[in-house]
Amino acid sequence: MADAFRQALSDAQGMVRRWSEKSGLAQSPDASTLSMAMGSALAGGKAFRAFLVLESSRLYDVDEEPRERAAFAIECLHAYSLVHDDLPCMDDDDMRRGRPTVHREWDEATAVLTGDALQTLAFQLVSNPRVGPHAASLTESLARASMAMVRGQMADIAAERVETPLTLQEITQLQSEKTGALITWASTAGPQLVGAHSEGLSRYAKAIGLAFQIADDVLDETGDAAAVGKAVGKDSAAGKATFVSHLGLDGARARARELVEEACDALDTYGDAADTLKQAAQFVVDRTH
């Protein structure tokens, strides 16, 4: 992993920890169950989406508080989706980010409400007046991304219940909603925070979002549960159509590499300032967890 990216990702993780503490979500003897469960859901993540917000903000000279609010918000929204996704009625997972899932550590009702509260917190963070004059439009675009995510999750569940496996095009569409929408929001938060628009960052986000999912499918096939921090091999065992089942392992890896190139090309206008984002694109396909 390239040094600049390694450092920036570690900074983003530190920022998430700081905002978790600031928001009263850290482990402490007098914390409520809700606070502890929210803090637990936020802990130990890669903070990749927060990193994207912070880096795209750097390109647009966004002030510290607005960019950190947006970065923490996207991690809250992502964490909410994981807590609900892990529920017994959804993916029924026991482990997440190397620790017990919220419904395993506490119970299902706590997990439902913890996810609900994390979603609420995300919107509370970005609609705050301190985000500046573009708070409302940033909040609305976060809501659109969040809605796309839920649509993608519904499509994912529906796909598991039909006999015909999804086509490559259908999987691509589903993933662009399920995981791509939040990655796109994060990658374009910087310009959005100053009322600007960036075609380059949108194209970058689209490419890494897809590469991210392809890499996830590859990891599900080849990864080690301990390193990945959650169960692996579930999709393949379930006979689910994935990028790997369509393209094969080598084909999927090759497609991911192509997408990394597309992502880097899209950032040409930013010159060296975008080097860390380019390293991030590479990380997306090289990661082992």
Q: Does 192 bind a second copy (CB under 8 A)?
A: no
Determine contact, residues 38/24, Cβ cutoff 8 Å: no
Determine contact, residues 151/32, Cβ cutoff 8 Å: no
Minimum Å gap between C-beta 127 and a second copy is: 4
Residues 6+ apart with CB under 8 A from 286: 1
Task: Tell me the window of 12-20, 59-67, 154-162, 277-285 that interacts with a second copy (CB under 8 A).
Answer: 154-162
Q: Does 131 bind a second copy (CB under 8 A)?
A: yes
Rounded to whole angstroms, the Cα distance separating 225 from 246 reads 23
Minimum Å gap between C-beta 139 and a second copy is: 4
Rounded to whole angstroms, the Cα distance separating 92 from 140 reads 31
Tokens of 59: 């390109």
Minimum Å gap between C-beta 257 and a second copy is: 34
Minimum Å gap between C-beta 253 and a second copy is: 32
Q: Does 222 bind a second copy (CB under 8 A)?
A: no
Q: Does 257 bind a second copy (CB under 8 A)?
A: no
Q: Does 108 bind a second copy (CB under 8 A)?
A: yes
Q: Does 90 bind a second copy (CB under 8 A)?
A: yes
Residues 101-131 as b or e (16 or more Cβ within 10 Å = b): bbbbebeeebbbbbbebbbebbbebbbeeeb
Q: How many chain residues touch a second copy (CB under 8 A)?
A: 42
Task: Tell me the window of 7-15, 27-35, 239-247, 278-286 that interacts with a second copy (CB under 8 A).
Answer: 27-35
95 class by beta-carbon count within 10 Å (0-12 exposed, 13-18 middle, 19+ buried): middle
Q: What is the DSSP letter of 107?
A: -
Task: Write each residue from 259 to 278 as x if it is in contact with a second copy (CB under 8 A), else as -, in one continuous string.
Answer: --------------------
Residues 50-77 as b or e (16 or more Cβ within 10 Å = b): bbbbbbbbbbbebeeebbbbbbbbbbbb
Q: Which residues bind a second copy (CB under 8 A)?
A: 32-34, 80, 84, 87, 89-90, 107-110, 112-113, 115-117, 119-121, 123-124, 127-129, 131, 135-137, 139-140, 142-144, 146-147, 150-151, 153-154, 157-158
